[in-house]
Amino acid sequence: MITQNPMLRTLAIFLTLSLTAYAQDRVVDLLKQLSEAPGVPGYEDAVRKLMTEQMRPLADSVTYDGLGSVIAQQGHSGPRIMVDAHMDELGGMVRHIRPDGYLSMQMLGYWLDAALPDQRWVVIGSKGPVNGITALWDAHIAPHQDGRPVQPGRALFVDVGAKNAADVQALGISPGDPVVPVSDFKVLANQRYLGKAWDDRVGCAVILEAMRRLAHESHPNQIFYAATVQEEGSIEMRGAQTSARMIDPDIGIALEVGIPNDLPGTDAEASQETLGGGPGVMLYSFSELPNRKLVDFLKQTAAEIHVPLQFDFVPGFGDDAGAIKLNKTGVPVTTLLVPARYTHTHNGIIDRSDFDRTVDVLVAVLKKLDAANVASIKKFD
C-alpha cells in the first residue's frame, strides 16, 4: 500500500535505504554470524565450520591441528608469519543434574561474578538446543546484609523449565553438554555493535577481512591464519600451542580484544584504551612481553597509513601470543587489539572504526614483513 502522507512516505524511504545498506554491508553480516555462533572451549564446531567456509575460497590451503584449530595459508615463499585469533568464547558445561531439575554448571573461562545471575543460556544437548536461565533468588526473599542483597557467590544453577531429572533427560541433556550465553547481535548508534563473544570473534573477523584483501595482492611472505581453540580458561592457550608447532612461525601476531577504560567511575590506571580511539597494542600482560622491535615496526607502519594506536598494560590479561612466543627456541610476537567494552560477560560493544582500522594496520604490516624486515626483528647481536 502506498501512503499519501509525506512524512510516512519519507520514513518508509529512510527505512528501506537503511535496511538496504545493512543488507549490503558484508562486514556487519559477518560480525553477526560470528558473534551469535555457539563455541565455548572444546565445543567450537559451529565457529570452525563458519571460519572454514569463509577461509577456503581465499586461501591456498586449509588444514587443522589435532585439537581442531583451523589454519589457512596464503603464499608459499618467504618468512612464515602466524596471525592468530581464538574461536572459543566464555561459557560453561553441565556439571550435575539435580533431582529437582536444576542443572549445576562448570564455568569455562574467567567470568565476572556480577554478570552471571539471571542470564539466558542455551544448553546444546543430544536432541538440540534447550533454552534456560541462571536462577536468582527473588528480591523479596533474598538474604540481605545492611539493607543490601547478598549474592550467593558462584553457586549457579540453570533453570530449563524441568520439574525433575527425568524431564532433563527427556530434553536430551547430559553432564558435559556445553552451555552457551545467549545474546543477539544488534547495531547501535554511531556504528557500534552489541553482541556476545567479541573475545575473540572480532579477531576472527579481522582475520577474514585481511585474507579477503590479500587474496589477490602480492605479499613477501607466507601467511598462516590460525583460528584457534581452547584459549579461554586455559593458561596454556592450547590451540595456539599446537597450531604454532604446525606452522613453526618466524613472527607471531595475535589478534585480541582491548580493554577500554571509558566507563564512568573506573580507575584511570586500570587500562588506557577508549572505544573508538583506534587499534590497541598490548605492551604488558601476564602471558606476554612483546618483542620491542616488532612493536616499533607496528608503530611505524600504523603511522605511515595515518592510523592512531592505543597502548595498554593489563596484568589480568593473557592471550595466544604467550603460547606462540615459546614455540621451539622462541618467536617474536605482538598483540593487536580491537577495543571491546564489557568483555567476559553476555554483552559487549565494539566500534566499527576500530575494527576497520585494525584490519588496515594488519594488512599493511603483512605487506611489509619481508625477509629483510623479519631478519632485522629477529636479530639480537
Residue 198 C-alpha cell reads as 567479541
Of 182, 187, 184, the C-alpha closest to 89 is 182
Contact indicator for 312, 273 with CB cutoff of 8 Å? yes
Distances in whole angstroms, Cα of residue 216 to Cα of each of 26, 211, 364, 365: 18, 9, 15, 16
Note if 236 is an active site residue.
no
Q: DSSP letters along 122-190, please?
A: EEEETTEEEEEEE----TTTS-EETTEE---TT--EEE-S-SSHHHHHHTT--TT-EEEE----EE-GG
Q: Tell me how far the alpha carbon of residue 309 is from its chain's centroid.
A: 20
363 to 89, 173, 223, 301: CA distances (angstroms): 25, 44, 11, 10
Helix (H, G, I), strand (E, B) or coil at 349: strand
Phi–psi pair at 223, nearest 5 degrees: -105, 125
Catalytic residue among 44, 231, 232, 273: 231
Active-site annotation, residues: 231
